[in-house]
Structure 1
């Protein structure tokens, strides 16, 4: 069966101990918002959470069901996840407190420990004054120094810290120790994995009133000691004369990310791979082939199956800003 249509899924909001209250004002739809809504999952194929198509002829279908019945049309040349599902997860995050200090494994360690590898990235949309991101270890910090600091609760001084601004993009390869600070709203794009090793959680309790589990030994194995973590990447337009400005943010690993501003009709082709558009600002329309155009609104995530082929995006308010994500082979 072919798909050849754009797919938007129902967002699912989740309470987090560090969550805020701002996502309610960013996303459309009748969403069941809990208090401390730290995450809204826009597109996901996990056993515990499979996204449902929100509109159109396939309304109600789940992403895992589409992977079972229309995998070739959906993925084309894009690779499946380590568990056989759709390869990427897209989330909105809103932080009212510092997240745990954590790391995700690469492919080699994930295989040895029976877990899943995870690269991810963040695009900052809002940042309150004084907000901070921790990403990677300072130069010279080895496993012994980190283990000692972790046991004594003095880990922050070993980390690189950054003051994020709206429009900053951060790549977080597997093996990079990280923590997101309070006061941030961002888009997170990640490999389809739920493997997180918490190295520190600031001695707080979770939503159930109990301390959350730490994974210090696994974290020590996962951290890529000696590897420098780059700071924020700002969009640098590839062609200043382009009608629709575009900038490459990430061009390595399991997915690629581009920033795009649509000022006039924008035409493109999926090139046989699954592609996702995340609407950062503005509104517009997305049309696949001769299908009826779909309304794009700020906060949306739209999945273009590999077999969608030719499509067009038009802006409606002069301020349509997007992230384009390609699932790699």
Structure 2
């Protein structure tokens, strides 16, 4: 019987798309319009969708495969904004699935670099009405209603579906999101999607403290010696992980994506050669590099090769399918109904004489 080939840390050729506001460079993505191509190892030349077609469960992990099927569920890119980023929002999974047969788009932005004059606009600073928002979309004043933030390197922001956001100035951010190309522009121009987005927007006041994690100017590596969770959600989870010494990882039920944001490291995988001799596979990862670790790899180590090495770690925790017809918050009894004697009836049916004597009590 032929032994199956072992999967390995997979890297992809970066793919950059240019816009009026700057560039977005995809490190790992299968969005249809973008399909990352493998650039290392025996899978080199295949796209991510090709790899998923053949090695789907070995790449994703059993739980992820069971929920998403052949769709690789996350995308990792770098946003380099050099000007005015358009006012945008994204749909959630339910709306995107119903209207476009696609995933919605939850996003985490991790600020890599920001000019002192750079701004991030995120969520409404007060309650907003659909009528006022529509008018402001047409006259270009939406940003005036959003929370204005001066981001610094190390800040992380969660952009939930339905949240209106924008940016300006010079800033660079690592972007982790659901694998979706669906975006709605709220600018009054030829790329506008104002009408399509109106019923998907969260019009409530946005509490910035719930979606802004500060790990930059006021948080040093010594204050955060271990992993810091930036986001834990059904869609995906993200950790900020300093690698000061060798770290051991064992296989879970999900792939893991490592994005090196500083320093450099070696990914080392125990194995045996053709003669059965133990050896350690060595895969380097340098700053600005990203690697996909298939769920099939049972054990590996991250070994720093430079000081101040730090990675962004993306993975998916087990996601359960929820029946939309079941409300988990529903009370067991309906108000106003007479349930007296039900326990006794059940006891008669089951032959439980103790329950028959007791009956139902308020």
Q: TM exceeds 0.5?
A: yes
The equivalent residue for 1:272 is 253
CA separation of 1:115 and 1:175: change in aligned 2, threshold 3 A:
farther
Residue 42 of structure 1, aligned match among 4, 27, 43: 27
Spell out the pairing of 1:172-251 with structure 2 (5 A cutoff). Answer: 172-200=159-187, 211-226=189-204, 228-230=206-208, 231-235=211-215, 245-251=226-232
Choose between structure 1 and 2 for higher RCO, CA contacts under 8 A separated by at least 6 residues. Answer: 1
Spell out the pairing of 1:296-311 with structure 2 (5 A cutoff). Answer: 296-311=285-300
CA distance in 2, matches of 1:186, 1:325: 15
The equivalent residue for 2:264 is 283
CA distance in 1, matches of 2:146, 2:69: 32
CA RMSD, 1 decimal: 2.3
CA distance in 2, matches of 1:270, 1:227: 41
Q: Is the 8 A contact 2:267 2:285 kept in 1?
A: yes
Tell me, what secondary structure is at the counterpart of 2:237? strand
Superimposed CA distance per residue, residues 247-297 of structure 1 (whole angstroms, 9 cap, x where no aligned partner): 111112310000011111011123121110000010110123325211110
> Aligned-pair distance for 1:232?
2.2
The equivalent residue for 2:97 is 111
Bigger radius of gyration, 1 or 2? 2
TM-score computed with the length of structure 1 as normaliser: 0.85
1:324 aligns with 2:313: yes
1:13 aligns with 2:16: yes
CA distance in 1, matches of 2:29, 2:228: 26
Query: Which piece of structure 1 moves more, 38-47 or 166-175?
Result: 38-47
Tell me, what secondary structure is at the counterpart of 2:281? coil
Q: Is the 8 A contact 1:176 1:229 kept in 2?
A: no
CA distance in 1, matches of 2:285, 2:66: 27
1:61 aligns with 2:39: no
Superimposed CA distance per residue, residues 144-166 of structure 1 (whole angstroms, 9 cap, x where no aligned partner): 22122222322111111111000
Query: Which piece of structure 1 moves more, 281-290 or 256-265?
Result: 281-290
Q: Is the 8 A contact 2:53 2:70 kept in 1?
A: no
Number of aligned positions between the proteins: 300
CA separation of 1:81 and 1:217: change in aligned 2, threshold 3 A:
farther
Superimposed CA distance per residue, residues 132-177 of structure 1 (whole angstroms, 9 cap, x where no aligned partner): 0011112221222212222232211111111100000000111111
> Aligned-pair distance for 1:306?
0.9
The equivalent residue for 2:304 is 315
Q: Is the 8 A contact 2:125 2:205 kept in 1?
A: no
CA separation of 1:153 and 1:83: change in aligned 2, threshold 3 A:
farther
Query: Which piece of structure 1 moves more, 121-130 or 177-186?
Result: 177-186
Superimposed CA distance per residue, residues 155-210 of structure 1 (whole angstroms, 9 cap, x where no aligned partner): 11111111100000000111111112220011001101000111116xxxxxxxxx
Superimposed CA distance per residue, residues 303-324 of structure 1 (whole angstroms, 9 cap, x where no aligned partner): 0111112110011111111101
Query: Which piece of structure 1 moves more, 127-136 or 263-272?
Result: 263-272
CA separation of 1:241 and 1:319: change in aligned 2, threshold 3 A:
closer
CA distance in 1, matches of 2:251, 2:25: 26
Stretches of structure 1 lacking an aligned partner (at least 5 in a row): 20-37, 202-210
Deviation beyond 3 Å, 4+ runs, structure 1: 1-4, 79-84, 239-242
Higher helix proportion, which one? 2
The equivalent residue for 2:59 is 74
